[in-house]
Structure 1
Amino acid sequence: MSTGLRLLLVSTPVGTLGSGRGGGVELTLAALVAGLGGRGHRLTVLAGEGSRLPPGSGAVQLWTCPGHDQPSWQHQSHDSAVQIPADGLLPALWDRVLQEQGSFDAVLNLAYDWLPLWLTPHCATPLFHLVSMGSVARVMDAVIADVARRCPGRLAFHTRSQAADFDLPGPPLVLGNGFDLTAYRFRAEPDPEAPLGWAGRIAPEKGLIDAARVAAGLGRRLLVWGVVEDAAYREAVEAAVPAGTVHWRGFLPTGELQAELGGCRVFLNTPKWNEAFGNVVVEAMACGVPVVAYRRGGPGELVEPGINGLLVPPDDLEAMQAAVLAAESLDRLACRHWVERHASREAFAGRVEAWLLAGLEPGSPAGHSLQGQTAGRTPDAGT
């Protein structure tokens, strides 16, 4: 099949594009809009009402739907049932997909939700899913396993550790993620006061309280960027450390975030769950900031010890304090070079394009050849 596909990209039903509430999905979508659009594909993005596309989206069309946000799966118990609120955004988005699917060669879903996964074998237009989280609920595990068996090649993952959460019939297709490296300025030296940094949603599963305690133990300031999803958790973080340890910077657009992030001496990553990838880890490295992370989930595949950061046993605060001191002497340019080799936006778009083209090839199991090609490691930028 030739390039120049007509693609419908469906965003998350949690928050609007540009608000930050969609977490890593927003960054991934921005990378795909630029990367796939630059490869000659005709793109339409479907998102919640009030969304806005990132600057430089060119001829990409934006469709929006009204509706109430979908409850986030990461805040449910493992045995929770599927919940769809009245006048929900999730069914509104997928009603629009079903109405418009005939105008597209493929639909690419970026949301981690039961409904689009369940629809996969029932859509007339091929429906692909870039899975954005690891295992969080039994019902989601089951529908992902079902799609993997019934519709080979329609699923892709960000990292091997994320894919390992699921019952898959064969090796996973691992695509990594991509970043606009022109948006991140390399900083050869940190700011004179050399704070530590942390970024992510302010919620318990992200483990900010651990980073705050590490910073307090070292007598350092900790700059924190992100949307406050759990106000009570933010208060608990404040109460756990001396006043003045945590400096709340809020959710910032990439340009403002990287300008502040680059001034940090070390970036901390402290997830309490199996993080699917770790976008903020790569963003820090792109600015030249070494990362100290728990050896858990996706960040454990992104940090190369001694090159762009250090890994420590999960939840070991003493080990993290020692690693921060060691990471301060790492070559900041090596951090930037790692991102250039492994996580460029252009290479990520090329991997996604290859996956879609393989899945649309008549008469062959979708993505079969690619699964064997990329399984076993997070792809390099040149793959």
Structure 2
Amino acid sequence: MLKILFLSTSVGSLGSGQGGGVELTIQNLAQEFRRRGHQLEVVAPEGSWLNNIPVTTITGNLQVPVQTQSREVPICLPDNSVLANMWDYARRVQHKYDLLVNFAFDWLPFYLTPFIETTIAHFISMGSMTVASDRIMQQIIQQYPGTFGVYTQSQADTFPFAADCEILSSAIDLSLYQFNNTPEASLAWLGRIAPEKALEDAVAAVNITGIPLKIFGKIQDQDYWEQICRDFPDAPIDYQGFLSTEKLQQELGKCRALLMTPRWIEAFGNVAIEALACGVPIIAYRRGGPSEIVKDGQTGWLVEPDSISGLVEAINQIDQIERQLCRQQAEEQYSLEALGDRFEAWFKKLVINN
């Protein structure tokens, strides 16, 4: 049995959607590791919650999401930083644990690594974002080899230390997602509504095809969302909000396909495997994590990045995809058991070697 302390993302409380896909990763790993009998504590910002998992919450001001900033942004902590407070807590309780696991994509946890006696596993949830973060990560991986985990090779390749990253993929609790083989005449887009996700490309595509687009997710950038609505006043779009997993899978399963249009290098794309679990094919740009998930021509279509015409062509061909193959891929590659095996092997190796 391992004794593990998870330190959450610091850009939002767990359950808020502000943390993006890493929130789902924390939920899934915590659930699977408790099922396996490991001792686990999850530390997260005030207001956080996980399904059937106790969370130790810490007060303080949230970090600004790194993806909203430039590559040259200076290192910055808000007054009464929740990230600093979380790591002060970790410092005080560290000797109760075999391993600390950092899920915050921020400069501070990497900088603090040499000052913490307990081994730290850093799970990196995004690709290269800032010069300062890349520099400190490069220094730490040289001092502590084997301690960085990522979702995909595409994500790892954005860093100068790609060869030193553990590729761990992702997963979902498949029991929460129902297979739907009788979709309605609608498409889906799912994710944080922010510029790097390029929702406007999906809206432009359905504006051409006329097929309704259901939009699910947290509006992270209100001005960006309002601009899309102004630019496409007659587009057949329906914003359905940030839904619970139970409600989301019901609505997502009714859709003919999920559109994934990231402008950046998506580290993974948990929404892709949520769609697969419902039997929903994926139409994604051939960029980043989704390009490693979608089996082109079998469980969806990969499209030239930033090509609206490519999205339209793929939409017109979506009925060629067998939805049963989508569910089958989710079951074979993205179960919680498979995820637990990968992370457990990594964690045990770190504990043994350190």
The TM-score by the shorter chain falls in which range? over 0.9
| Larger deviation, residues 325-334 vs 209-218 | 325-334
Q: Percent identity?
A: 41
Cα pair 2:299 2:325 within 8 Å, conserved: yes
Q: Find the counterpart in structure 1 of residue 83 from structure 2.
A: 90
Alignment of structure 1 residues 1-383 onto 2, 5 Å: 4-54=1-51, 56-57=52-53, 61-168=54-161, 170-191=163-184, 194-243=185-234, 245-362=236-353
CA contact (8 A) 1:148 1:169 kept: no
CA distance in 2, matches of 1:318, 1:16: 38
Q: Distance in 1 between matches of 2:164 and 2:220?
A: 35
User: Which amino acid is 1:32 matched to?
Assistant: L
**Structure 2 gap ranges (5+):** none
TM-score calculated relative to the size of structure 1: 0.90
Deviation, 1:320, is 1.0
**Amino acid across the alignment from 1:297:** G
Distance 2:162 2:42 in 1: 31
**Aligned-residue CA RMSD (Å):** 1.2
TM score, norm. by length of structure 2 = 0.98
CA-CA distance at 1:243 after TM superposition: 2.8
Aligned length: 354
**Aligned partner letter, 1:343:** Y
CA-to-aligned-CA distance 1:71-111 (integer Å, 9 cap, x gap): 10000001001111101111011110111101111001111
CA contact (8 A) 1:238 1:246 kept: no
Following superposition, the deviation at residue 244 of structure 1 comes to: 5.3
- SS for the counterpart of 1:86 is coil
**Alpha-carbon distance between aligned partners in 2 of 1:124 and 1:246, rounded to the nearest angstrom:** 52
* Contact in 2 for aligned 1:187/1:287 (Cα 8 Å): yes
Does the residue aligned with 2:113 lie in a helix, a strand or coil? helix
Structure 2: distance between partners of 1:259 and 1:11: 28
Name the amino acid aligned to 2:71.
H
Give the whole-Å Cα distance in 2 for the aligned partners of 1:279 and 1:326. 24
| Post-superposition offset of 1:362 | 4.0
The structural deviation recorded for 1:14 is 1.2
Paired residues of 1:270 and 1:294 also in contact (CA < 8 A): yes
Distance 2:310 2:55 in 1: 46
Q: CA offset at residue 170 of structure 1?
A: 3.3
Which segment is superposed worse, 101-110 or 170-179? 170-179
Q: Partners in 1 of 2:318 and 2:73 — Cα distance? A: 40
SS at match of 2:121: strand
Distance 2:107 2:207 in 1: 41
Does 347-356 or 240-249 show the bigger shift? 240-249
CA distance in 2, matches of 1:203, 1:160: 24
Letter in 1 for 2:31: A
Write the letter of the residue equivalent to 1:240.
Answer: D
Q: Which moved more, 1:38-47 or 1:161-170?
A: 161-170
Deviates more, 1:271-280 or 1:144-153: 144-153
CA contact (8 A) 2:6 2:42 kept: yes
